[in-house]
Structure 1
């Protein structure tokens, strides 16, 4: 019976504990600022008014900052005019309190240490607040908030706290930037294809883009049946298969080639996606795999490919209708637990906004989603490939090649994306124009055109911040939904007449 009593005592103790703070340090730092306004610039880069525990100290710091940033002097006398005459602080008039702060000021040398201590204590208070909210919500959870949503919300708040708590921003020297550029060039020299970004496994596409660049949002769009999902799975598997890493002196693992890939498959199940990749790699039609119409040789290839696939770092999330907030939380978790070098989302229009009213305006919702994906790419420092649908206006034109204006809700997608690529297969449209059998001349002309475009595709790069636009021809094997580099006819062996 002693255990419940001990637990109750512990709970009571937690309720009576005081929040972490150090009022004396806050007073010392504020006094230093009032004595020498230059002290403010030693802490202003990381310290905010909200980091102070005492409300009066928050007001003093905020008003001092406003005066100093306006080029004026912050002193007990100038600050007094911004407070009520009858205000009492620590049982004394506000002017007397300000004068005492200045009289007990610390030296400028200690100011930065004091500022960081104030900020650290504020971070600890925020952690306690998040923990208390987690407990309260878990006890009294709303009906429309399942435990998974509570976990994602807690993860988001903790990650936001970690990011806002960072103090490594600001200016860097040119020599630091130069070192980073040299490190990038060195990594590119050692990587497959000597690319600055991650290789897609498609040589011609890599040459046009320099690989997939870190922190880029890459939109891959196309009409249905063009093969955008197939191209995305090809690239994802190529990156994961080429993965190589090495352990650093500090014990961390660094990717030196290929990468760890996260794939959000919002439309297809994980099993369907795996079947596609097996079909691509084993060169066995996915329809035959599903129906079991395979011979012994094909089955052997499937087994070999499956064994290889088990070793590649490709992680699939098959949650349909996922919100941008949940997607972001899960991507962060994957980065933290397994590592992450590339993220693929199939497809953008199936993501839902985080706000309750977001669905009322789809354009605003898509804007929030694309902005969130770009922010995620920068935050995790990985390329994010987001697939996108195209509007039906393509079908009404004679030239079916897609354009930027064909993107659904194109304003935000085009604006936020660093790269916009379209998958286009002329064969798909030409196939539908087959003339009647009695039209011999038309049939011969159509067949000649079909021979020209058979098993060929284009990736049209319509926007690229860091490189040229243009078209990249690729080989497309429809039976296996597989993209490869297009073999130039000049390199094919001569045909026997």
Structure 2
């Protein structure tokens, strides 16, 4: 039989004289827990200092969790939490010869002062986060060893990111009230930056002057819904805005070495419907002013080819990132967006389109509840990343049943939560699309009136601002070139040459 010293370290048993070097206790601080609980039992005001970030599950000892939970319930009910009032709710526990009333009395006798309560609370909270990180690490290792055949490593990575993000969210305790003067300082800084920025906008310029004038640009943490019926140009508007933002990107280096966006921005584009190649073809067509069907067929002239090459060369240098994965859940999308911001930076996020996202796999609710989860998740993501999120959305068919086809908020498909969670709702409407589909017989009176309507509507699109939390609603007109799927600023009527 081999000697213990000759055995591999991982298979060696610990002896009474040789403790196992691989065994480590999870980080905890029983003394801090006892001191904080004692402070609460002596002076219930100590609870108010830690109640907004500390929970019972943050305590490492089961009895301490129970004491904190019962004390919290009593204090929130307006009652006194003391060793005498608590003992009737805790039952019997084996404390090594010490009864529960005796243990509560000892906690109160060795209590810290109320001044130190918050510091002890943060210590307990931080140690709980460390234990959560250890558990996540163990889960990652175990899942990697025992992964089923159908579970890809990428899915495991996204699940790990989701868990880490959940810990990061629960790990925040900087919430609560702030002085109004702090909010005023932020507001004045925003106004100063708007004054310095091109176009005098508080947000990121879309590249469309009339739209920027109404919205002040794309605002950080806003959820912007771009909605319309098929064929209206939703994707074209989103790609136009995204390209304009990425093309205008300028940054400056901060003292810590990180980059700060000065103008434009880094764009992330989730193309759930089209492939990256299809999306790139559309953007090249827009920027090179060459019809996309000509590019696909190769039916282009030499000047058009040179314009395509120039457009492609410019596109290679701009911070525009495309994810063409289909069937993403809101959790997967959020994980990838956070990863992009961490690795490359992110100033604007675009999703084409909302109805192609999925909710939680475990949910068996209706599609309406699933869309509610998606829109709530997108709004939370916009606030978490502090960037505008532009999500495209389909409209219901009831638009087609009206004489006036202009969309309304009630036409948003599948859920009222889209309207509720959105900060801005933009509808894309092209009257020319509907007029084309109802051409009357040539030579008739209706045909003459139709021609006049077509001339008035040709090459124009309406962007209807149906909702805006921090600005006016209304309608603006843009030029629209259908062959190139390109929007552009519309020249004002007074700037056009006189008509004959």
Q: Same fold (TM over 0.5)?
A: yes
Q: How do 1:51-90 and structure 2 match up within 5 A?
A: 51-84=58-91, 86-90=92-96
- In 1, Cα distance between equivalents of 2:43 and 2:278: 67
Alignment of 1:67-216 (within 5 A): 67-84=74-91, 86-216=92-222
2:228 and 2:394 in contact (8 A); partners too = yes
| TM-score with structure 2 setting the length | 0.93
Does the residue aligned with 1:31 lie in a helix, a strand or coil?
A: helix
Does 2:23 align with 1:19? no
Which is worse superposed, 349-358 or 257-266?
349-358
The alpha-carbon deviation at position 311 of structure 1 amounts to: 1.3
1:301-358 CA distance string (max 9 Å, x none): 1111111111111110001111111111111111111111111111111111223344
The whole-number CA distance in structure 2 between the counterparts of 1:127 and 1:143 is: 26
User: Aligned partners of 1:494, 1:13: CA distance in 2, in Å?
Assistant: 93
- CA gap of 1:123–1:286, structure 2 versus 1, over 3 A, is same
Measure, in 2, the Cα distance between the counterparts of 1:207 and 1:249: 33
8 Å contact from structure 1 (residues 152, 329) kept in 2: yes
Q: Distance in 2 between matches of 1:69 and 1:396?
A: 54
Q: Distance in 1 between matches of 2:8 and 2:323?
A: 44
CA shift, 1:253, in A, is: 1.9
- Cα separation, partners in 2 of 1:28 and 1:298, compared to 1, 3 Å: same
Q: CA deviation at 1:106?
A: 2.4
Matched with 2:372 is 367
Q: For the Cα contact (< 8 Å) 1:394–1:401, is it kept in 2?
A: yes
- The separation in 1 between residues aligned to 2:171 and 2:20, in whole angstroms, is 28
Equivalent residue for 1:238?
244
In structure 2, what is the Cα distance between the partners aligned to 1:189 and 1:10?
70
1:489 to 467, 489, 493: 493
Q: Distance in 2 between matches of 1:37 and 1:430?
A: 72
How far, CA to CA, are the matches of 1:176 and 1:263 in structure 2? Answer: 34
Which of 391, 395, 416 is matched with 1:411 structurally? 416
1:348-497 alignment runs, 5 A limit:
348-358=354-364, 361-437=366-442, 439-494=443-498
- Cα drift, residue 5 of structure 1: 3.8
* Cα distance between partner residues in 1 of 2:434 and 2:129: 59
1:404–1:410 CA contact under 8 A, matched in 2: no
How many Å apart are 1:33 and its aligned residue? 2.1
CA RMSD of aligned residues (A): 2.1
Query: 1:29 maps to which residue?
Result: 36
Q: Partners of 1:440 and 1:37 in 2: how far apart?
A: 86
* CA separation of 1:80 and 1:459: change in aligned 2, threshold 3 A: same
Q: Distance in 1 between matches of 2:259 and 2:10?
A: 41
Worse overlay, 163-172 or 61-70: 61-70
Where 1:310 maps in the other structure, the secondary structure is helix
Aligned to 1:228: 234
Are positions 1:283 and 2:317 aligned together? Answer: no
C-alpha displacement of 1:151: 1.0
The partner residue of 1:43 within 50, 61, 84 is 50
Q: Which runs of 5+ in 1 are unaligned?
A: none
**Displacement of 1:398 after TM fit?**
1.6
Tell me, in whole angstroms, the C-alpha distance in 2 between the residues paired with 1:357 and 1:63.
32
Instruction: Tell me the SS of whatever aligns to 2:167.
Output: helix
Cα deviation per residue 1:73-99 (whole Å; 9 max; x = unaligned)? 322122112122x43324311111111
Cα pair 1:51 1:122 within 8 Å, conserved: yes
Aligned counterparts of 2:40 and 2:329: Cα–Cα separation in 1: 45
The CA deviation at 1:150 is 1.3
TM-score, structure 1 normalization: 0.94
Q: Which runs of 5+ in 2 are unaligned?
A: none
Secondary structure of 1:74's match?
Answer: coil
1:261 aligns with 2:267: yes
Question: Any conservation in 1 of the 2:368–2:414 contact (CA below 8 Å)?
Answer: yes
Distance 1:398 1:170, change over 3 A: same
1:69 positional shift:
2.9
3-state SS of 1:254 partner: strand
Cα separation, partners in 2 of 1:384 and 1:71, compared to 1, 3 Å? same
